[in-house]
Amino acid sequence: MTQISETSPEIDNTINLEQLLDKMHQAINKKIHHLSKEDVIMVGIHTGGFWVAEKLYQRLELSSPLGSLNISFYRDDFTKIGLHPEVKPSQLPSGLDDKHIILIDDVLFTGRTVRAALNEIFDYGRPASVTLAVLLDRGERELPIYADIVGQEITLKAGQQIKLSGPEPLALILNKS
Amino acid sequence: MISQNIQLDEQGRLKHFLSIEGFKRQHLINILDAAEPFANVHEQAVKKVPLLRGKTIVNLFFEASTRTRTTFELAAKRLSADVLNININTSATSKGESLLDMLHNLEAMHCDMFIVRHNQSGAAHLIAKHVSPHISVINAGDGCHSHPSQAMLDMFTIRRHKKEFADLKVVIVGDILHSRVARSQIHALTTLGVSEVRVVGPKTLIPAHIETLGVHVYHDLQAALIDADVVIMLRLQKERMQGALLPSENEYYHQYGLTEKKLKLAKSDAIVMHPGPINRGVEIASSIADGPQSVILEQVTNGIAIRMAVMSQTLGRSNQEPPKSKGGNV
């Protein structure tokens, strides 16, 4: 587990993103090697998760197009924060039924985004399985959700935020709010 | 004219949607942008999103409507709200209950939004002024005044085909006098910066001083159609006509009906719109209504997305603090 120093805001160079992506790629390959490529669909959560998914999608040879998921309509805080006027629509390949979904996000924290993403996916169909793969897991879950594949676990101090910027190049930005 | 204040809350967010007047370009663009992702919801196996789960929306239609009422109802249901359709003919207003008493009763049932259609101009505005602060009111057509969600679905349809509003020549044909749709369209088109809006119809059906809204008035359809990008046909509103405003339907079709020959005067990629219901052979030839340039049925589909956007924007406001969860949904 890496302890991240208190800084505000700056690019974090202590984490090698390429290494994490390689590690995730290997773990995903291991997870899907016994499956037929046509049955695997990769879906990235808008926006950071989608950038990570794009990198992993390039490394894997999947036949189905890369999906993007915008969970704005499924958030649990809609009535508190309202709707962003520029929500990009989700783009999921048709026919999710019986497929194996690799769901990608950049940072796993409270688990609320993943809860919303799972609800949205099930409004598109009934997949055979969903595997969650995240670049960083910063712990402190508020819901019973875990990632099957984790690039790296990190611990942040109170008030610190970490965010992925991208899509080219990908960089981690540390922010002390 | 309805003031801007009542439609927006203290933070400038959409609270009621009563008329296009009072909105700036960016407000209208926000509604159009918000509608884009809602246009895809029907592609889901479950054609619903949970945004307005637990909200109760009341359709209060004091005037007949099929398209508008059903698309508002579908929009609400696709947002997972509960919908109440009040049948005014059999409700207590026909037993003498006043409109405001009826509203207070509906408020006591903890409803969150009223969708109002009424034959009196200003009805939705009056209701918005008298409801409790947490309730939003959407105007689904008031008399000859305004029909803002129809105008926005038309703008959405135009933008999907034409991209830039600024370069467009838009022609609105027919019964401008009785048309709340035309009034709202004119306000929306000019607010969005359309370079030329032409209205055309017989003198008896064009309101006096309409030029002050920034439109060009024509009485000759052929002249008005030249180089048009968008042609909007209106229905003859015979139910609102008092006295002899028209010689005959045949004569009207001859002069102001859209035929294939006349449509050739517009640009070859012009789109033809109509808010419905259409009167075939009165204002539009069947071959055009069903033809390749017609986007009439697209307008109906787009109406659901626009109404979802307006409903979720008006009900997605709160004076509460943002959630205490660590950074919201992450």
CA of A101 to nearest chain B CA: how many angstroms apart? 16
pLDDT in tens, B29-88: 999 999 999 998 888 888 999 999 999 999 999 988 888 999 999 999 999 999 999 877
Note whether residue B322 is domain-resident.
no
Note whether residue B107 is domain-resident.
yes
ipTM: 0.76
B154 plus B285 within the same structural domain = yes
Take residue B144 and report the two structure tokens written for it. 């000859």
B39 touches chain A (CB under 8 A): yes
Comparing CB atoms, the residue among A78, A86, A89 nearest residue B51 is: A78
B34 plus B102 within the same structural domain = yes
pLDDT in tens, A118-173: 999 999 999 999 999 999 999 999 999 999 999 999 999 888 889 999 898 999 99
The phi-psi region of residue B67 (left if phi > 0; otherwise alpha if psi is between -120 and 50; otherwise beta) is alpha
B132 plus B11 within the same structural domain = yes
Angle of the B67-78 helix axis to the B296-315 helix axis, nearest 10: 50
Comparing CB atoms, the residue among A88, A113, A123 nearest residue B46 is: A123
Take residue B291 and report the two structure tokens written for it. 């033809």
Task: Tell how many helices (H) and how many strands (E) occur in chain A.
Answer: 4, 9
B115 plus B237 within the same structural domain = no
B318 touches chain A (CB under 8 A): yes
Chain B partners of A132 at a C-beta cutoff of 8 Å? none
Alpha helices in B109-179 (DSSP H): 123-130, 148-162
Taking CA atoms, A162 is separated from A22, A167, B69, in Å, by 21, 16, 47
- In whole angstroms, give the CA distance from residue B150 to residue B141: 9
Domains held by chain B: number: 2
Q: In what helix (H) or strand (E) does residue B100 lie, and over which residues does it extend?
A: helix B99-108
Take residue B155 and report the two structure tokens written for it. 């703008």
Check CB contact under 8 Å for B329 and A161.
Answer: no
The one-digit pLDDT tens for each residue of chain B (330 residues) are 444 479 998 888 899 999 999 899 999 999 999 999 999 888 888 899 999 999 999 999 998 888 899 999 999 999 999 999 987 766 666 667 788 888 889 999 999 999 999 989 999 999 999 999 999 999 999 999 999 999 999 999 999 999 899 999 999 999 999 999 999 999 999 999 999 999 999 999 999 999 999 999 999 999 999 999 999 999 987 776 666 677 788 889 999 999 999 999 999 999 999 999 999 999 999 999 999 999 999 999 999 999 999 999 999 876 544 444 454 455
What phi and psi values does residue A23 have, to the nearest 5 degrees?
Answer: -65, -45
Closest CA to B155 of B29, B314, B18, B327: B29
What phi and psi values does residue B221 have, to the nearest 5 degrees?
Answer: -60, -40
B79 plus B35 within the same structural domain = yes
B200 plus B87 within the same structural domain = no
Q: Indicate the CATH number of A6-75+96-176 among 3.30.2270.10, 3.30.360.10, 3.90.420.10, 3.40.50.2020.
A: 3.40.50.2020
Residue B136: which CATH number? 3.40.50.1370
B131 plus B183 within the same structural domain = no
B119 plus B185 within the same structural domain = no
Comparing CB atoms, the residue among A82, A119, A140 nearest residue B13 is: A82
A13's CB contacts (< 8 A; 6+ apart) are none
Domain boundaries, position B153: 148-295
Residue bearing tokens 């926006």: A47
Note whether residue B326 is domain-resident.
no
CB pairs under 8 A between A and B: 95
Check CB contact under 8 Å for A123 and B313.
Answer: no
The phi-psi region of residue B326 (left if phi > 0; otherwise alpha if psi is between -120 and 50; otherwise beta) is beta
Check CB contact under 8 Å for B318 and A85.
Answer: no
- In whole angstroms, give the CA distance from residue A16 to residue B27: 43
